[in-house]
Copies of this chain bind each other. A is one copy, B any other.
Amino acid sequence: MADALVLSIDGMGGDNAPDIVVEGVEIAARKSPDVSFIIHGDAERINHLLELAPHARAVSRVAPAERAIGMDVKPSQAVRQGRGSSLWNAVASVEEGEARAVVSAGNTGAFMAISMFRLRMMEGVHRPALTCTLPSMRGKVALLDVGANVEADAEQLVEFAIMGEAFHRALHGTARPKVGLLNVGSEDMKGHEEIRAAARLMRAARIDLDFHGFIEGDDIGKGVVDVVVTDGFTGNIALKTLEGTARLVGQFLRDALTADPLARLGALFAYPALRKLRARMDPSTSNGAVFLGLNGVVVKSHGGATGSGYAAAIDVARRIAASSYREEIARNIDRLARADAAAAAAGVGEAN
């Protein structure tokens, strides 16, 4: 590889930074030795941790940053006062072309605000979208937006569809990910106007993707589509409801398997299988939410991720940075813009 892939890491973001961060880089470096890292943060502590992380040490450069952004810092404060922090510098590495992607487990709002401020939106994209990966009966499902914006109009929903489709292909190698719009029914007349207009616009603009139409909430787990598109309000509530339900069922299962001696004995025999189940449900195996639509790959790890969870987020950054997702998005965004222009020229609404 002529041009090695460089990832920028916020060494100080997350509940157990920088320890977990370096542990994550070590695991990632062992798996993908062709990637190198710039780790931003407390150089003394990070260098000390790298002494025990030989794979990471071999491919990392430590970039000193004198401070970290706390979890209670508001997005607007972070943009005004964040300069010089590990998070700010990690994003700046992408802006300056030193790195192709940035990973942080720190303050989500601050990370999104600084990324938007420094990296700016991709041409033709109106709003970025936070995208997460979920398990389903048929494979991994991308859900977006899960909270970057509270509302989305029809055109923004189509942009999310375009970005989510390229994201799924970049991450999982799916040739033609199937895209669905989250709604309260699958019939054409269901839902509110924005969502119906988005479906019409998607077809009218001849966006080059496999558009399935509307799906319902239970279709996420069924894996009816690969990419689920919705506004940030609905997406955030769907995501958190899903996480809460998985935790509730897990708790009920623990209650059941510790209720009496026979159940405890059964759980003992089934222990290896139950551990695998736990890994399958573990959010860290799907760690790495991506902030799509900016000039650069921005990946958010769970704040409480383990080392292997953090490595999963790094892997997301690596796959997307190494893909041609930007060109794919640009092509479809261009189709959308031309459809808008044609509709405007014809003097009709964009959605008709």
Residues of chain A touching chain B, judged by Cβ–Cβ distance below 8 Å, are 135-137, 147, 150-151, 182, 184, 191-192, 216-222, 230, 232-234, 236-253, 255-257, 259-260, 262-263, 265-274, 276-277, 280-281
Residues B277 and A266 in contact, CB atoms below 8 Å apart:
no
CA A173 to CA B191, docked complex, whole Å:
35
**List of B residues within 8 angstroms of A267 by Cβ:** 266, 270
Tell whether, in the assembled complex, residue A135 and residue B271 are in contact, meaning their CB atoms are under 8 Å apart: no
Given A217-B236, A256-B274, A273-B257 in contact, is the A248-B147 Cβ separation under 8 Å?
A: no
Taking CB atoms, residues of chain B closer than 8 Å to A239 are: 217
Instruction: Report A142 CB to chain B, min CB distance, Å.
Output: 15
B252 pairs with A281, CB closer than 8 A = yes
A256 CA to B280 CA, complexed, in Å: 10
Determine which of B240, B246, B253 lies in contact with A216 in the assembled complex, contact meaning CB atoms within 8 Å: B240
Copies in the complex: 2
Q: Is the interface of A mostly helix, strand, loop or mixed?
A: helix
Residues of B near A263 (CB, < 8 A) are: 269-270, 272-274
Q: Closest chain B residue to A278 by CB distance? A: B256
Question: What separation, in Å, do the CA atoms of A268 and B259 have in the docked complex?
Answer: 15
**Residue from B192, B238, B251, B252 in contact with A238 in the complex, judged by beta carbons closer than 8 Å:** B238
Q: What residues on B are CB-neighbors of A234 within 8 Å? A: 233-234, 237
Of chain B, the residue at the smallest CB distance from A232 is B184
Contacting pair B266 A244 (CB below 8 A): no
Inter-chain CA distance A268–B266, complex, in Å, is 7
Contact partners of A270 in chain B: CB under 8 A: 256-257, 262-263, 265-267, 270
Say whether B238 contacts A241, CB under 8 Å.
yes
Neighbouring B residues of A240 by C-beta, 8 Å = 216-219
A281 to chain B, nearest CB (A): 7
Q: What residues of chain B lie closer than 8 Å to A281, measured between beta carbons?
A: 249, 252
| Cα distance, A192 to B246, chains bound together (Å) | 27
Of B136, B184, B242, B247, the residue contacting A236 (CB under 8 A) is B184
Bound CA–CA A252/B221 (angstroms): 11
Collect the chain B residues with CB atoms within 8 Å of residue A244's CB. 217-222, 242
Question: Which residues on B sit within 8 Å (CB–CB) of A232?
Answer: 184
Task: Kindly state the separation between the CA atoms of A344 and B257 in the bound complex, as whole angstroms.
Answer: 58
Least CB separation from A248: chain B residue = B221
Q: Which residues of B contact A184 (CB under 8 A)?
A: 147, 150, 232-233, 236-237
Query: Given the interface contacts A184-B147, A234-B234, A237-B217, does A135 sit within 8 Å of B273 by beta carbon?
Result: no
Is the CB–CB distance between B233 and A218 below 8 Å?
A: no
Listed by A's residue number, 18 A-B pairs whose Cβ atoms lie within 8 Å are A136-B248, A151-B192, A191-B233, A192-B233, A216-B236, A216-B237, A217-B238, A220-B245, A221-B241, A252-B280, A253-B277, A256-B273, A256-B274, A260-B273, A262-B269, A263-B269, A266-B266, A266-B271
